[in-house]
Structure 1
Amino acid sequence: MTAVGLCRGLDTLFAVPPGHRLDDVDRASARQVLGCDDHTLSTLLDRGLQASGEVGEERFDSRDLFNLALYSGTGTTVPEQAFAYSLRWMRSSTEELLAPRASRFALRVACAADRCGPEPTSSLALPRPERLGGAVHDLTVEPADANGPAHDGGDTLARTASELAVTATVHTRGERAELRSPELRAIAAEFAAMDLRWVKLPAALQDDVDLVTSHGVASCDSASRYLAQLCVRAGIPAVTRIGWVVGMLDLVHAWVEVEDTDGATKVIDPVFALFSATVRGTNPLLRDPTVALRTNRLIPTGLPTGRAVAEHRCGGEPAAARVTTKILPAPTRPQERP
């Protein structure tokens, strides 16, 4: 069953293009990700799975392996099981998805080098749940001094330091809203009918909206950009937004905020519908193109797609950063509720 599913998945795999490949997984690790034996892995190679290196010592791109396993339909691979676990909240009732929620939020960025270069600058996006009816309490910044670059319009924080950390208690709430605009409903239905697949992509391709139409695959960023473009072309005010999702494997997420004909700004999350297709028994509202369902798990920033939630510079150049994000349930005190 595993071999059949993997071979079927390979037929529809969008392989990471040359120039973007990172063959970072050896043969033994590939078998673990795919949940297959060595004979099946050889069969996949014979059928076109891309790899580098000599026969028997091949190396694979981890994103190819993840995407292949995720859509194999076996239910036994590591990516399938990880997705099913991290997205189990999508089975929640509508009431549970809308209820007020409190989370303890911690975001840290540090230089990834063994020794940070001169004139380091670290910056972080701030959680802005008030944009969606929430609130922030007990916000702390480390280091606390205000030397160095200041806020960027309140949406990011920067310090002249090799490390920077932000912690806070974040309160969020969901909202269910009908899409009133006939044009907006048509766009949402058209997008849903495209039958796209969410896939892991190299950073350089995550904003590439051409992949949506040419290959039927999308990241959170590219799907949001594509949907926002459709809205703007139809005369509907729309912007992309990035932030975090409580409980997701990849916490950083993207969605679209549109202005409907009733004057309300509504969240359309094009990728949640794609995610929910990989999990059985999900709340049907997540796939309903007539409804703007904003779950209580969204923690927005004030930034659009294309921006980063964490950055580091040293030696006058952008530098590799080590980013740590933790979002855990927090008790709610009455005075803290939004």
Structure 2
Amino acid sequence: MTAAGLCRGLDTLFAVPPEHRLDDVDRVTARQVLGCDDHTLSELLGRGLPASGDAGEERFDSRDLFNLALYSGTGTTVPEQAFAYSLRWMRASTDELLAPRASRFALSVACAADACGPQPTSVLALPRPERCGGAVHDLTVEPAGGTVGPDDDTVTRTASQLAVTATVHTRGERAELRSPELRAIAAEFAAMDLRWVKLPEALSDDVELVTTRGVASCDSASRYLAGLCERAGFAAVTRIGWVVGMLDLVHAWVEVEDDDGATKVIDPVFALFSATVRDANPLLRDPAVALRTNRLIPTGLSTGGTVAAHRCAGGPTAARVTTKILPAPTRPQEGS
């Protein structure tokens, strides 16, 4: 079953283009990701799975392997099991998705080099849950001092590492899309039957892949949907942030002004994800409903923004980014 599913998945795989390939995974790790034996891996290579290197010593792009495994339909691969676990909250009731939630938030960035270069600068985005009816308490930045970016969206320090911690309060909101045009746009997007895939950073906001290849990242799906809204005459922006329970994923969604003057969240990728979850809350895919879950922690940044960055020795350098979002004791929000 695993071999058959992987072969079917290979037929629909969007392979990372050669100019963006990393080839960062060997055969042993590839078999672990795909949950297959060496014979099946060789069969996939014979059917066209991209790889480099000599026979028996091939190397693969980890994103190709992840995407292949995720849509193999076997239910046994590492990506499938990881997604099933991290998306189990989509089965929650509407009340659970809207209820106030408190989380202890910690984000850090550090130079990934063995020795940080001269003139180091580290930048982090700040959580901005107040944009969605939430609040931040006990915000701490280490090291202290430095500057905060425009509109308090980012914090910058002259340092090889930087950390932000806070208690973040979020709450969800269910709102009807009043505009028939917005409902039609949401329905049109849902009918495209796109696949979310891991993409190279250089392609993550490539809207053309949505229309020509049927694949999307959070960024490109949100950009595409926001573009549809704008062309229909609605004020719309993309937003990036974090999802409680999906720590390695910087998420993106759309904020659009409806006919009633209210700004509402349309989350195109949550709709795609929920289609893969058995017994998911149907509101996540309802084109007539703008559902903002209590798991969104927004920044003040749009798609294309960076939540963590480091520079030293006169240019951007590789960085180690760590994100932790854990349950915290609740306390009343200001103004609630």
Query: TM-score of the superposition, structure 1-length normalised?
Result: 0.97
Give the Cα–Cα distance (whole angstroms) in 2 for the partners of residues 17 and 249 of structure 1: 27
Q: Tell me if structure 2 keeps the 8 A contact 1:106–1:167.
A: yes
The Cα offsets for residues 170-214 of structure 1, whole Å up to 9 and x where unpaired, read as: 000000011011111111000000000000000100010000000
Q: Return 259-268 or 116-125, whichever deviates more.
A: 116-125
Number of residue pairs matched by the alignment: 336
> For residue 199 of structure 2, what is the aligned residue in structure 1?
201
Contact 1:83–1:249, Cα closer than 8 Å, also in 2? no
Deviation at 1:145, TM superposition (A): 2.1
Aligned residue runs from structure 1 range 20-39, under 5 A: 20-39=20-39
Give the counterpart letter for 2:87 in structure 1: L
- Paired with 1:86 and 1:303, the residues of 2 have a C-alpha distance of 24
The answer as to 2:246 corresponding to 1:243 is no
**1:284 aligned to 2:299?**
no
Assess if the C-alpha contact under 8 Å between 1:33 and 1:79 holds in 2: yes
Whole-angstrom distance in 1 between the partners of 2:249 and 2:129: 15
In the alignment, is the contact (CA less than 8 A) between 1:24 and 1:60 conserved in 2? yes
Deviation digits for residues 231-268 of structure 1, max 9, x if unmatched?
11110110000000000153310000000000000000
Q: Cα offset for 1:293?
A: 0.5
Amino acid at match of 2:150: D
Which residue of structure 2 aligns with residue 319 of structure 1? 317
Unaligned runs of 5+ in 2: none
Deviations 1:82-104 (A, max 9, x none): 00000000000000000000000
Cα distance change of structure 1 residues 116 and 322 upon mapping to structure 2, 3 Å threshold: same
**2:8 alignment partner AA:** R
Counterpart position of 1:167: 165
1:267–1:294 CA contact under 8 A, matched in 2: yes
Counterpart mapping for 1:1-338 below 5 A: 1-146=1-146, 149-334=147-332, 338=336
Deviation at 1:337, TM superposition (A): 7.9
CA displacement at 1:62 relative to structure 2: 0.4
Can you list the C-alpha shifts for 1:272-295, whole angstroms capped at 9, x where unaligned? Answer: 011112221111111111110000
Change (3 A) 1:40 1:337: farther
Q: What are structure 1's unaligned runs of at least 5 residues?
A: none
What RMSD over aligned residues (CA atoms) do the two structures have, in Å? 1.1
User: How far, CA to CA, are the matches of 1:249 and 1:278 in structure 2?
Assistant: 19
Change (3 A) 1:183 1:195: same
Preserved contact between residue 135 and residue 333 of structure 2 (Cα < 8 Å): no
Q: Output the TM-score relative to the length of structure 2.
A: 0.98
CA distance in 2, matches of 1:120, 1:281: 48
User: Is the Cα contact below 8 Å between 2:247 and 2:324 reproduced in 1?
Assistant: no
Structure 1 residue 79 displacement after superposition? 0.4
SS at 2:66's partner residue? helix
Question: SS at 1:273's partner residue?
Answer: helix
SS of the equivalent of 2:152 reads coil
Whether the aligned pair in 1 keeps the contact of 2:169 and 2:333 (CA below 8 Å) is no
